[in-house]
């Protein structure tokens, strides 16, 4: 049986355009609000066209020692040049990048996932400590 973990791909985001890039502090104060950005194609540009684009990014937090991950946010990118004139004739393209504010009380790992409409599911992770 194929499991969902089997179809998530990962790689070095500096050379693979689909890997979500997690940017934020590696250390935060407990209970203090901080920003985390997740984007794709930071070094190698990912297309954003009607035919080929990033549909969504999701961000999770798994506290150290906990069994379960918590969802931080679900970000859908809905506009990719569609219009009545045809593909890539529309006036708007949602860019595949998001910044979210959050706070945590324990150290753990930020887990980002992303979906390309033709290249599937991708993931990345970033540890975060709490002072
Ligand atoms: Fe792609």
Average pLDDT over residues 108-112: 98
What residue has token string 């990719």?
80
Number of separate domains in the chain:
1
CB contact burial 81-90 (16+ within 10 A = b; e otherwise): beeeeeeeee
Question: Which member of 27, 32, 43, 52 is catalytic?
Answer: 52
Average confidence (pLDDT) over 94-105: 98
**pLDDT exceeds 90 at position 18:** yes
Which neighbouring-strand residues pair with 101?
35
Here the CATH number for the domain that contains residue 21 is 2.60.40.730
Active site residue 76: no
Look at the block and give the residue holding tokens 């790689």.
Answer: 11
- pTM, 2 dp: 0.95
Give tens-digit pLDDT for 28-48.
999 999 999 999 988 899 999
How close is the Cα of 48 to the center of ligand 1, in Å?
Answer: 9
Supply the DSSP symbol for 86.
-
**Within 13 Å, how many C-alpha atoms sit on residue 86's CB side?**
0
Q: Name the band, by pLDDT with cuts 50, 70 and 90, for residue 13.
A: confident
Q: What is the pLDDT of residue 47?
A: 97
Q: C-alpha 50: how far from its chain's center? A: 20
pLDDT band at 107 (very low <50, low <70, confident <90, very high): very high
Tell me the residue range of the domain where 64 lies. Answer: 4-130
Give yes or no: 96 in active site: no
């Amino acid at each position: 049986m194929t499991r969902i973990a089997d179809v998530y791909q990962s790689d070095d985001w500096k050379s693979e355009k689909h890997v979500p890039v997690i940017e934020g502090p590696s250390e935060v104060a407990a209970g203090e609000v901080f920003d985390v950005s997740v984007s794709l194609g930071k070094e190698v540009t990912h297309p954003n066209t009607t035919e080929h684009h990033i549909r969504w990014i999701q961000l999770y937090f798994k506290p150290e020692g906990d069994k379960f991950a918590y969802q931080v946010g679900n970000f859908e990118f809905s506009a990719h040049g569609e219009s009545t004139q045809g593909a890539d004739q529309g006036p708007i393209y949602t860019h595949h990048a998001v910044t979210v504010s959050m706070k945590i009380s324990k150290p753990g790992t930020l887990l980002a996932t992303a979906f390309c409409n033709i290249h599937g599911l991708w993931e990345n992770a970033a540890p975060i400590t709490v002072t």
